[in-house]
């Protein structure tokens, strides 16, 4: 194994979450291809979730060895970052049942992410430590391009990853915040909505009015019928949660952002589970599916819980 590549076996019974710093495409391949070859030679199940162009390059460099590795397009898996942890859960559940070491490469953050997406990706990266704290022998490497990303993004990677590696020099991150902070309700401020937003209040008897409000505003914005229907289901789930768990009432607002239609539901409740909406619900459980459904239907979901209540903001792209 060359000295400038990822190396070393996965520690038994441990989740190892590592930020891999690389500089450009050539450096990415130089550091990841040997890591994947090592996994294939050892028979360790491995899932790589990166963009489609990078999948093609990895397969070409790996040649026949790529047949032993699973690939998925991050643009499909992680367009909404809240859907990435469930994908890793499925991989671990399917391939880790016998205690075999597992490997993964996932790159949810790239230079083209919008500011809202970036914040949610960074939250996702922190939550991985909580979601897989008890996962046995799973090494997950998250690449960060130091040539394309701002220094502040790299600094945040050091806060969300216990280990940071670059060309074989792997070390514990002194900036890693730890699980206690990750497990706290997320209250980072959202950008304020525009004063011109459409707004309505609702209570138990106004859920039908909420659905009509969503349909009218989405139609006015030119959203396609299938996406209007998905949005109605999502906002109805949020409003119903507000009635049942958020003090019996709430508000829903809507506005247009560049390329997207945005709805926000606010109420007096609190969401204390930091992984809410990121775990596949048990088909036999009573309730608990609302946020999961919203994450499956919407292009981006932002959840913020503060002392005075909770806001859930959803984005639907307008083509």
DSSP 11-56: PTT-EEEEEEEE-HHHHHHHHHHHHHHHHHHHT--EEEEE-HHHHH
Query: Using CA atoms, how far apart are residues 79 and 171, in angstroms rounded to an integer?
Result: 30
Q: What is the CATH number of domain 15-182?
A: 3.40.50.300
Q: Which tokens hold the place of 157?
A: 């990677």
pLDDT computed for residue 6 by the predictor: 59
Burial 53-74 (b: 16+ CB within 10 A, else e): ebbebbbebbeeebebbebbeb
Encode pLDDT of 53-111 as tens digits. 999 999 999 998 888 899 999 999 999 999 999 999 999 999 997 778 999 999 999 99
- What is residue 64's predicted lDDT score, i.e. its pLDDT? 84
pLDDT at 13: 61
Measured CA to CA in angstroms, residue 159 lies from 5, 152, 227 at distances of 23, 11, 36
Instruction: Give per-residue pLDDT as tens, 154-213.
Output: 999 999 999 999 887 889 999 999 999 999 999 999 999 999 999 999 999 999 999 999
State the pairing for strand pair 260-267/250-257: antiparallel
- For the chain, the structural domain boundaries read 15-182, 198-317
Q: Determine whether domain 198-317 maps to CATH 1.10.3720.10.
A: no
Average pLDDT over the chain reads 92
Neighbours of 20 (CB within 10 A): 25
Same fold across 15-182 and 198-317: no
Model pLDDT for residues 22-57, shown as the tens digit of each residue: 999 999 999 999 999 999 999 999 999 999 999 999
Query: What is the predicted pLDDT for the residue at 206?
Result: 97
How many other C-beta atoms lie within 10 A of the C-beta of residue 146? 16
3-state class (DSSP) for residue 306: strand
């Amino acid at each position: 194994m060359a000295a400038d590549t990822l190396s070393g076996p996965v520690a038994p019974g441990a989740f190892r979450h590592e930020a891999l710093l690389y500089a450009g495409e050539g450096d990415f391949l130089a550091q990841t291809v040997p890591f994947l070859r090592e996994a294939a030679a050892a028979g360790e199940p491995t899932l790589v979730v990166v963009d489609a162009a990078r999948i093609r390059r990895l397969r070409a460099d790996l040649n026949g060895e790529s047949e032993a590795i699973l690939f998925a397009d991050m643009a499909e898996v992680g367009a909404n970052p809240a859907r990435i942890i469930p994908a890793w859960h499925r991989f671990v559940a399917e391939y880790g049942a016998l205690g075999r070491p597992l490997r993964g490469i996932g790159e949810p953050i790239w230079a083209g992410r919008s500011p809202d997406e970036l914040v949610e990706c960074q939250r996702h990266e922190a939550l991985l430590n909580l979601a897989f704290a008890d996962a046995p022998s799973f090494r997950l490497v998250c690449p960060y391009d130091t040539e394309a990303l701002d220094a502040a993004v790299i600094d945040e990677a050091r806060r969300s990853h216990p280990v940071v590696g670059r060309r074989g020099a792997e070390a514990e991150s002194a900036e890693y915040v730890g699980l206690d902070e990750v497990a706290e309700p997320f209250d980072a401020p959202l950008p304020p909505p525009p004063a011109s937003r459409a707004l309505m209040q609702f209570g138990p008897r106004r859920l039908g009015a909420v659905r009509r409000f969503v349909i009218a505003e989405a139609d006015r914005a030119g959203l396609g019928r299938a996406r209007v229907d998905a949005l109605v289901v999502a906002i109805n789930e949020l409003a119903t949660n507000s009635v049942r768990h958020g003090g019996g009432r709430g508000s829903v607002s809507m506005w247009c952002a560049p390329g997207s239609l945005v709805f926000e539901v606010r109420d007096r409740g609190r969401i204390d589970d930091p992984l809410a909406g990121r775990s596949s619900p048990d088909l036999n459980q009573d309730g608990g599916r609302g946020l999961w459904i919203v994450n499956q239907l919407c292009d981006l979901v932002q959840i913020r819980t503060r002392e005075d209540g909770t806001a859930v903001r959803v984005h639907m792209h307008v083509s």
